Amino acid sequence: MSSDNDTGNDKPLPLSKLVGWMVRGEQGIAALLLFIILSTMATQVFARYVFGAPFSWSEEVARLSLIWLTFISAAFVMAQGRHIAVDMISSRVGDRGKFVIECFSFVVVAAACLLLLFGGAKFIWYVGEVGSPALGVPKSWWYGAGGIGLLLIALHSLINLYQVVVTGKPIPRETAMEEEALHLELEGGK
């Protein structure tokens, strides 16, 4: 089983320690947010059915945590190369073609994330004056999760691009096991 931090000859990728720290930090934050969601919802259910008086803030805390969890998780999934991808071209080209496609995909992802981030920054700043109903948390904290997530995804994408350019070959990834029943055979008319 290959690691995300090797290039096939057990030599670590450039910046692999930084990526490891970032991923562990993002996973730790995601785990904490998941714990907050579960404990808040459990407390809400307990308060509602035992005391007959639900908390007014619990749904808002869980929703805010879920939004942050989603964007933080998207970042470490990007770093690990585990986002859903359609691989119709790179599986049919040589090493040079895979290199070009991978570089291009990292540039597109980083550019799209940064464009969305810069485009949405004014909105995030604008809604900061509005507070949420139960907690009074500024709405910029709600929409800011998307901004932080986009920034982290762009950063991971740029680091991946750097690793590919420096090593001259695509980043090795664990390949997912495909079930034959779900495999779509495009060649041979099957």
Mean pLDDT, range 38-53, rounded to an integer: 93
Domain ranges of the chain: 16-173
Helix H or strand E segment including 66: helix 58-79
For residue 160, which of 173, 150, 149 has the smallest C-alpha distance? 173
Mean pLDDT, range 47-66, rounded to an integer: 92
Q: Is the dihedral of CA 118, 123, 127, 133 positive or negative?
A: negative
The label of the residue with tokens 């450039």 reads 14
DSSP symbol at 169: S
State if pTM tops 0.95: no
- Given a cut of 70, is residue 3 above it in pLDDT? no
The number of residues in the chain equals 190
SS3 for 157?
A: helix
94/151 Cα distance (integer angstroms): 32
What is the predicted pLDDT for the residue at 185? 53
What are the tens digits of pLDDT across the range 5-45?
444 456 888 899 999 999 999 999 999 999 999 999 999 99
The CA distances from residue 69 to 25, 75, 76, 119, 177, in Å, are: 13, 10, 11, 22, 27
Which of the four pLDDT bands, split at 50, 70 and 90, describes residue 174? low
